Amino acid sequence: MSQRLKEKCAIVFGAGSSGPGWGNGKAAAVAYARAGARVACIDLNAGAAEETAAIIREEGNEAIAIAADVTQLASVEAAASATADAFGGIDILHNNVGVTHMGGPVELDEAAFQAALDLNIGPVYRTAKAVLPHMLERGSGAIVNISSLAAIRYVGYPYFAYYATKAAVNQATVALAMQYARQGIRANCIMPGLIDTPLIYKQISSQYETTDDMVAARNAMVPLGHMGTAWDVAAAAVFLASDEARFITGVCLPVDGGQSCAAGGAV
């Protein structure tokens, strides 16, 4: 991979994987490092953060691991300060934390709805609050928020809170992009479609008889005929964080195999 992020520092919230394999945050952290960035791998699970950082270091790149809770501002601020101290600043903020809870307003209890707010849109606010001062000090920066195709489309799953909070991520990204454009800071978000990551086997598979049924159904919904991988999302993130995207801000980019373009989500 080209060194398009050489001498940049990236802080990746949600850099661990929720199971064996490659989640979106884990792949993004490694992809940033392969593009030349020094990476702070942040995760609630210290072991998961360290696993990602170890992969980066084993490949000859630079990374640190920090445990932090994105629902707690003080924890996020401490992670941002530790990153800036270790690397001399922060150039890239990547938000990957999220959760799905099945059910509409009737079935969903208030605690689950509040958890969706805290874990899907809350981190965009808290990480921006903690990291933006470091970017403003430099007069530059790139924010990449991971949203979802569910922000703009009904994708067939009954997760009211997820649709609502991911839509909020999109508009929060636009708000950041416009407010800080004149300070040299860009903000974009990625809307992954149906991606084959460890998370879907924990949070989505209950909607199907078997995991094989889930994989087959999700593949069939994508116009290209198959789900994407975490590396598809990571490649888009590296581009948006790089100077190649220096004239791109406020964009909500689908990475979805064409699903957002197809009536009914398939062809």
Residue 212 belongs to some domain of the structure: no
Q: Calculate mean pLDDT across residues 240-260.
A: 97
**Residue 119 half-sphere exposure toward CB, CA atoms < 13 A:** 16
Predicted pLDDT of residue 1? 55
Residue 204 belongs to some domain of the structure: no
Q: Calculate mean pLDDT across residues 104-116.
A: 95
Q: Calculate mean pLDDT across residues 71-75.
A: 98
Q: For this structure, is 159 an active site residue?
A: no
Predicted pLDDT of residue 141? 98
Residue 58 belongs to some domain of the structure: yes
Q: Calculate mean pLDDT across residues 46-73.
A: 97
| Full domain range(s) for residue 104 | 9-197+230-252
Predicted pLDDT of residue 207? 83
Strand partners, 185: 141
Question: 81: buried, middle or exposed (CB in 10 Å: 19+, 13-18, 0-12)?
Answer: middle
Tally of domains in the chain? 1
Residue 264 belongs to some domain of the structure: no
Separation of alpha carbons 2 and 36, rounded Å: 8
Predicted pLDDT of residue 197? 84
Predicted pLDDT of residue 190? 98
| Residue 264, pLDDT above cutoff 70 | no
Alpha-helix residue ranges (DSSP H) falling in the chain:
24-34, 46-58, 73-87, 110-116, 122-138, 160-180, 198-203, 211-221, 230-241
User: Could you report the per-residue pLDDT of 187-215, keeping only the tens digit for each?
Assistant: 999 999 999 988 778 877 788 888 888 88
User: Could you report the per-residue pLDDT of 124-178, keeping only the tens digit for each?
Assistant: 999 999 999 999 999 999 999 999 999 999 988 899 999 999 999 999 999 999 9
User: Could you report the per-residue pLDDT of 12-41, keeping only the tens digit for each?
Assistant: 999 997 678 899 999 999 999 999 999 999
From 32, 162, 163, 180, active-site residue: 162
Look-up: residue for tokens 């799905």? 100
Give this prediction's pTM: 0.94
Residue 168 belongs to some domain of the structure: yes
Separation of alpha carbons 170 and 189, rounded Å: 7
At 266, the pLDDT band (50, 70, 90 cuts) reads very low
CATH number at residue 150: 3.40.50.720
User: Could you report the per-residue pLDDT of 207-244, keeping only the tens digit for each?
Assistant: 888 888 888 888 999 999 999 999 999 999 999 999 99
Residue 86 belongs to some domain of the structure: yes
Look-up: residue for tokens 């605690």? 111
**Residue 113 backbone dihedrals phi, psi, to 5 degrees:** -65, -45
Residue 221 belongs to some domain of the structure: no
At 267, the pLDDT band (50, 70, 90 cuts) reads very low
Distance between alpha carbon 42 and the CA centroid of its chain, in Å? 12
Residue 66 belongs to some domain of the structure: yes
Q: At what angle do helices 122-138 and 73-87 cross, to 10 degrees?
A: 30
